[in-house]
Amino acid sequence: MFWKRLASGVVLLAAAVAFLYIGGTPLLLVLCAISLIGQNELYRAIGIDHKGLSMIGYLMTIVYYMLVFFEGRGYMAAMIVFTLIILMTAYVSTFPEYKTEEVSGAFFGMCYVSVLMSYVYLTRQLNDGLFMVWLILLSSWGSDTLAYCTGMLFGEHHMVPRLSPKKTWEGAAGGVAGAAILGFIYGFVFRNHMPDTISPAMTCCIACAAGAVISMIGDLAASAIKRNHNIKDFGNLIPGHGGVLDRFDSMLFTAPAIYYAVTMLEHFHR
Query: Among the three residues 76, 96, 125, which one is the final residue of a domain in this structure?
Result: 125
Average pLDDT over residues 104-119: 95
Is residue 101 domain-shared with residue 143, that is, in the same domain? no
More confident residue, 157 or 179: 179
Number of domains in the chain: 2
Please check whether residues 117 and 141 belong to one and the same domain: no
Residues 200-215 pLDDT 10s: 999 999 999 999 999 9
Q: Are residues 52 and 9 in the same domain?
A: yes
Mean pLDDT over the full length of the chain: 89
Q: Given CA atoms 260, 242, 161, 144 in this order, what sign does their dihedral have?
A: negative
What band does 269 get if pLDDT is binned at 50, 70 and 90? Answer: low
Question: What pLDDT, on a 0 to 100 scale, did the predictor assign at position 2?
Answer: 52
Average pLDDT over residues 164-185: 89
Helix (H) or strand (E) holding 101: helix 100-109
Which of 157, 204, 151 shows the shortest CA–CA distance to 175?
151
Together in a domain, 131 and 253: yes
Most confident of 11-15, 60-64, 219-223: 60-64
Report, in this order, helix, strand and coil percent for the chain, each rounded to 5.
Answer: 80, 0, 20
C-alpha to C-alpha distance for 204 and 126, rounded to whole angstroms:
14
Residue 96: cis peptide before it, omega within 30 degrees of 0: yes
46 pLDDT more than 60? yes
Residues 241 and 254 in one domain: yes
The three-point CA angle 143-147-148 to 5° equals: 120
Do 155 and 31 reside in the same domain of the chain?
A: no
Q: So what's the pLDDT on residue 168? A: 87
Do residues 267 and 177 share a domain?
Answer: yes
Q: Mean pLDDT, to the nearest integer, of 160-174?
A: 84
152 in the same domain as 74: no
Q: Which of 108, 125, 142 is the last residue of a domain?
A: 125
Q: What residues contact residue 227 under an 8 Å CB cut-off, 6+ apart?
A: 163
Q: What CA–CA distances, in Å, run from 89 to 63, 83, 94, 162?
A: 18, 10, 8, 38
In this structure, the answer to whether residues 134 and 234 fall within a common structural domain is yes
**What would the pLDDT profile of 51-93 be if each residue is shown by its tens digit?**
889 999 999 999 999 999 887 777 888 888 999 999 999 999 9
| Dihedral pair phi/psi, residue 133, rounded to 5° | -65, -25
- Give the model's pLDDT for residue 106: 95
Rounded CA gap, 186 and 127, in Å?
Answer: 17
pLDDT of residue 34: 95
Q: Does one domain contain both 248 and 138?
A: yes
Q: Which of 66, 93, 125 is the last residue of a domain?
A: 125
Residue 238 DSSP code: B
Which pTM was predicted? Answer: 0.92
Domain of residue 108 covers: 1-125
Could you give the angle at the alpha carbon of 244 between the alpha carbons of 185 and 225, nearest 5°? 100
| CA-based torsion, 239, 241, 244, 247: positive or negative | negative
Asked whether the beta carbons of 130 and 186 are under 8 A apart, the reply is: no
Q: Are residues 121 and 131 in the same domain?
A: no
Question: 193 and 65: one domain?
Answer: no
Omega into 200 within 30° of 0, i.e. cis? no
